[in-house]
Amino acid sequence: MNADPKPGKMSDAELGAAARAATAGGLDLGALSAAVAERAAADGILDLAYSRVDSPLGDLLAASTPAGLVHLGYPNRPLDEQLGALAERISPRIVESPRRLDEVRRELDEYFAGRRRRFGLALDWRLSGGFVRRVLKETARIPFGETRTYGEVATAAGSPRAFRAAGSALGANPIPIVVPCHRVLRSGGGLGGYGGGLDVKRELLALEGVLELSKGTSPDPGRRPRRRHRGSP
C-alpha cells in the first residue's frame, strides 16, 4: 500500500482502521454451526451431524445421518481423523450440531448412569456390509450384562468357522457401546481385543456387572469374567 501522499488526506491506514472498526464483531461458531445445521437439515442437504458426547470414558464423537447414528468414536483416535474418515466414506457435508445428537447423548448418559440396559436409537449401518454387518447385527442382540464368544457370534452370523473374521468385524465396529462388541470375549474367557482399548472394555463389562474392577489397580487382562446366565437374545 502506498503511504499517504498528502497530510490531512485520507490514508490507506486510516481507511483500514475504519474498515476494521466497522466490520469488527464477535462470532459464536457453535451457535452459527448449529443454525446452519438446522437450516441445512430442513433443506435435506445435511448428510452428517456430529457432536462430542461427554462420558466416563472421555469425550466420544457421535455422528448421525438422517437415517440414524452411524459412528461413535473413542478419544484414542484424533477427532480430525475420525471426521476425515466420515467425510471420505459417507459425505463431506458434515456440520457440528450438539442438538441433533441430543437423543444419542441422553441414552448414553442413562447407560453410563446405570439407568438404561438397552438402546432405542435408530442406527445407520452403512459403514459395514456383508459378513461384518451380520456379525454386528447379531452382536447388537446380546443383552446387557451377558457375554458371547467370537465363535458364538460367528455362528449366529451364519459362519461358524469364521471366528477370527468375527473378531476383526467387531474390531471394525463403527458404533461401539450401542452395538455392544464389548460383550464378545474369547472362548477361554480372555477379553480379546477392543477398538477403544482393553481398559475401556473392562470398564464397560464392569459397568454391566460382568467383571469386577478392583479400584486403584489395573485388573489382570487374563482374568476370567464371571459368565452370566444366557437367555436367548
Partners of residue 94 on adjacent β-strands: 48
Nearest alpha carbon to residue 189 among 228, 138, 156: 228
What are 96's three cell numbers?
Answer: 457440528
Cβ nearer to another protein, comparing 11 with 149: 11
Q: How far is the CB of 209 from another protein (least distance, A)?
A: 38
Cβ nearer to another protein, comparing 32 with 67: 32
Cβ nearer to another protein, comparing 9 with 229: 9
Separation between Cα atoms, residue 111 and residue 101, nearest integer Å: 15
Active site residue: 95, 154, 178, 181, which one? 181
Contact 201, 183 (CB under 8 A): no
Q: How far is the CB of 64 from another protein (least distance, A)?
A: 14
Residues found near another protein in the complex (CB under 8 A): 9-10, 12, 14-25, 27, 29, 32-33, 35-36, 39-40, 43, 45-46, 50, 83-84, 86-88, 91-96
Contacts of 128 (CB under 8 A, 6+ apart): 136, 169, 172, 173, 174
Here the contacts of 15-20 (C-beta below 8 Å, separation 24 or greater) are none
For 10, phi and psi rounded to 5 degrees? -55, 125
- Residue found by looking up cell 459412528 in the block: 71
For 62, phi and psi rounded to 5 degrees? -110, 135
Cβ nearer to another protein, comparing 20 with 229: 20
What are 197's three cell numbers?
Answer: 482399548
Q: How far is the CB of 87 from another protein (least distance, A)?
A: 5
What are 27's three cell numbers?
Answer: 462470532
Contact 102, 38 (CB under 8 A): no
Q: Is 181 a known active-site residue? A: yes
Q: How far is the CB of 25 from another protein (least distance, A)?
A: 6
Cβ nearer to another protein, comparing 26 with 130: 26
Q: How far is the CB of 220 from another protein (least distance, A)?
A: 40
What are 134's three cell numbers?
Answer: 451380520
Residues forming the active site: 181
